[in-house]
A = this chain, B = another copy of it.
Amino acid sequence: MLEIVDLEQTVSKEAFKQRSKELKPALAALSQPIKQQKLPVIILFEGWGAAGKGSMISNLIVNFDPRGYQVHSIIGRSDEEKREPVMWRHWLKIPEQGIMSVLDRSWYQDVSVSRLERGLDDKGALRRMDDINIFERQLTDNGYLIIKFFLHITQKEQKERFEKLSGSKSTAWRVTDNDWKRNRQYDKFYSAFDEMLEYTDTAYAPWHVVSGMDKNAATLEVYSTVLNSISRALKEKADKEKAGACEPEIIVPGDYNYLPMPKLADVPLDQTITEEKYEKQLKKLQTKLSEQHGKLYSKKIPVILAFEGWDAAGKGGTIRRVSEALDSRGCEVIPVASPSREELARHYLWRFWRKLPKDGHVAIYDRTWYGRVMVERIEGFCATEDWQRAYREINEFEHQLTDWGAIVIKFWLQIDKDEQLKRFTARQNTPSKQWKITAEDWRNRDKWDLYEPAVNDMLQNTSTAEAPWHIITSQNKKYARIQTLKIIIDAIEKRLDE
């Protein structure tokens, strides 16, 4: 992509003045509709050192209402960030609806400069670029607009700019030894940049490679690109909202190794365990899990345990038997309720990204991101296309977790409708347990027949070899607890043996 950029183009001072007089008010006029129409926007600037990213950002944002944007400079990963998946820190910073996030460098650092300077191999780089494509697709699919600029200059121009900066006392500090080294290795960087641009130039988040040779020309190109991209996105958003629900495409849940899952109706529910055997096994398994936690910690392996199941299926009690075996300083139980305003204003996976464990820690989710394909589907909190697309998005999310090194295990606690009624009634009749049962539980119960196929779909579409679902018969709660502990211990054992 770099080859085809016209580096000769210049714009006269007069022409610049004239044209920017038209473009600047048009850009300024975008602040309000972005906010009103709740469009989240990401504008990122990559490019050669001294290509003019910083001043381009200043030139751009001066047109906007400062309450409507945030500027972030992306540097290397901090120690805290190194304990999380690569894309974690970028996910955390995605803007909320109606806000424009302007980035000085971005996730592309990891696959360009870092690739060459921190020895990321080709395979690793491809994997990272796949992650980036997924990240950008997930965001744009969920309504984000991403505008990507790469500012391009020649080796000679870069050298001259470095020399000029070095020549002045007030700017000499801006040119480091590393910058000079990069200039000498221009060709190597050129290939890496070019490959990155090719690989990540997608229909949903295309690159705009801009010549940085002439500042005026570059500024005008950035202005008009931003103007056109945002105007188009606003129009599309408005049109889409006017048109209402559209026929969803059939979305494949992704190219993963799926495990066969039974339908819920075919799951046998008659397993039980004697009280005596339960006590003995529980103690043994908890001791074992406790030992394993120390090893996970020292090997920095994160563990993600996801619990879903019918109301009153026994999630709380099961989670407790797991968590009490773990060192509380390295384990957190995360109850997932309805999203907060801050969460609703962003991509639905954001709130789970920001609650990931550190490496070596265990996170136990009491309800999960699967709400998207259950309650949000059933209650119509998202559009059909949203939850249909979510299978793939979730598989991708979990893939990034396992790719990071996490053990990911998902449990569906299964009871039948009669058993639920028994438990609901018991709760209602026991004063100390009445808080556990709400009107909403009864409403959800009425929708059992809607939920069951949704759960079946979920299990079919998201049980992968790397992040499998386990259906746990919980008609007998004690049996369920023992089964769950066994599965967790086996999975950890297997990993520790690797």
Known A61-B328, A66-B364, A71-B331; further 18 A-B contacts with Cβ < 8 A: A29-B432, A32-B435, A36-B435, A54-B329, A57-B328, A62-B324, A65-B316, A67-B319, A67-B335, A67-B366, A70-B332, A73-B329, A78-B78, A78-B79, A102-B328, A340-B340, A341-B341, A342-B342
Cα–Cα distance between A87 and B342 once the two chains are bound (Å): 24
CB distance from A38 to the nearest CB of B (A): 13
* Residue pair B66, A327 in contact (C-beta under 8 Å): no
CB distance from A464 to the nearest CB of B (A): 27
Contacts of A462 in B (CB 8 A): none
* Residue pair B66, A104 in contact (C-beta under 8 Å): no
Cα–Cα distance between A102 and B327 once the two chains are bound (Å): 13
Q: Is A333 an interface residue (CB 8 A)?
A: yes
Cα–Cα distance between A62 and B328 once the two chains are bound (Å): 9
Q: Is A241 an interface residue (CB 8 A)?
A: no
Closest to A64 in B: B320
Q: List A residues 373-419 near B (Cβ within 8 Å).
A: none
Q: Is A80 an interface residue (CB 8 A)?
A: yes
Closest to A71 in B: B328
Q: Is A58 an interface residue (CB 8 A)?
A: yes
Q: Is A323 an interface residue (CB 8 A)?
A: yes
* Residue pair B57, A319 in contact (C-beta under 8 Å): no
* Residue pair B319, A66 in contact (C-beta under 8 Å): yes
Q: List A residues 26-43 near B (Cβ within 8 Å).
A: 29, 32, 36
CB distance from A94 to the nearest CB of B (A): 16
CB distance from A106 to the nearest CB of B (A): 13
Q: List A residues 57-98 near B (Cβ within 8 Å).
A: 57-58, 61-62, 65-67, 70-73, 78-80
* Residue pair B332, A58 in contact (C-beta under 8 Å): no
Closest to A364 in B: B66
Cα–Cα distance between A57 and B324 once the two chains are bound (Å): 11
* Residue pair A58, B316 in contact (C-beta under 8 Å): no
Of A62, A328, A331, chain B has the most CB atoms within 10 Å of the CB of A328
Of A70, A72, A341, A366, chain B has the most CB atoms within 10 Å of the CB of A341
Closest to A70 in B: B332
Residues of A within 8 Å of B, CB-based: how many?
39
Cα–Cα distance between A79 and B82 once the two chains are bound (Å): 13
Contacts of A66 in B (CB 8 A): 319-320, 323-324, 333, 364
Contacts of A62 in B (CB 8 A): 324
**Given A319-B66, A435-B32, A57 and B329 touching (CB < 8 A)?**
yes
* Residue pair A58, B328 in contact (C-beta under 8 Å): yes
Q: Which listed residue, B58, B328, B432, touches A327 by the CB 8 Å rule?
A: B58
The interface bits of chain A over 411-448 (1 if a CB of B lies within 8 angstroms of the residue's CB, else 0) are: 00000000000000000000010010000000000000
Closest to A36 in B: B435
Contacts of A32 in B (CB 8 A): 432, 435
Cα–Cα distance between A295 and B316 once the two chains are bound (Å): 55
* Residue pair A67, B333 in contact (C-beta under 8 Å): yes
CB distance from A121 to the nearest CB of B (A): 28
CB distance from A413 to the nearest CB of B (A): 15
Q: List A residues 320-359 near B (Cβ within 8 Å).
A: 320, 323-324, 327-329, 331-333, 335, 340-342
Closest to A320 in B: B66
* Residue pair B329, A71 in contact (C-beta under 8 Å): yes
CB distance from A310 to the nearest CB of B (A): 18
Closest to A321 in B: B66
Of A65, A78, A102, A342, chain B has the most CB atoms within 10 Å of the CB of A65
Contacts of A324 in B (CB 8 A): 62, 66
Contacts of A323 in B (CB 8 A): 66
Cα–Cα distance between A21 and B123 once the two chains are bound (Å): 58
Cα–Cα distance between A66 and B320 once the two chains are bound (Å): 6
19 contacts between A and B (CB under 8 A): A32-B435, A54-B329, A57-B329, A58-B328, A65-B316, A65-B320, A66-B319, A66-B320, A66-B324, A67-B319, A67-B366, A70-B332, A71-B329, A71-B332, A78-B79, A78-B80, A340-B341, A340-B342, A342-B342
CB distance from A223 to the nearest CB of B (A): 16
Q: Which listed residue, B61, B67, B72, B331, touches A316 by the CB 8 Å rule?
A: B67
CB distance from A293 to the nearest CB of B (A): 12
Cα–Cα distance between A329 and B20 once the two chains are bound (Å): 23
Cα–Cα distance between A386 and B435 once the two chains are bound (Å): 30
Cα–Cα distance between A376 and B275 once the two chains are bound (Å): 56
Cα–Cα distance between A184 and B61 once the two chains are bound (Å): 59
Cα–Cα distance between A104 and B330 once the two chains are bound (Å): 11
Contacts of A71 in B (CB 8 A): 328-329, 331-332
Cα–Cα distance between A181 and B79 once the two chains are bound (Å): 28
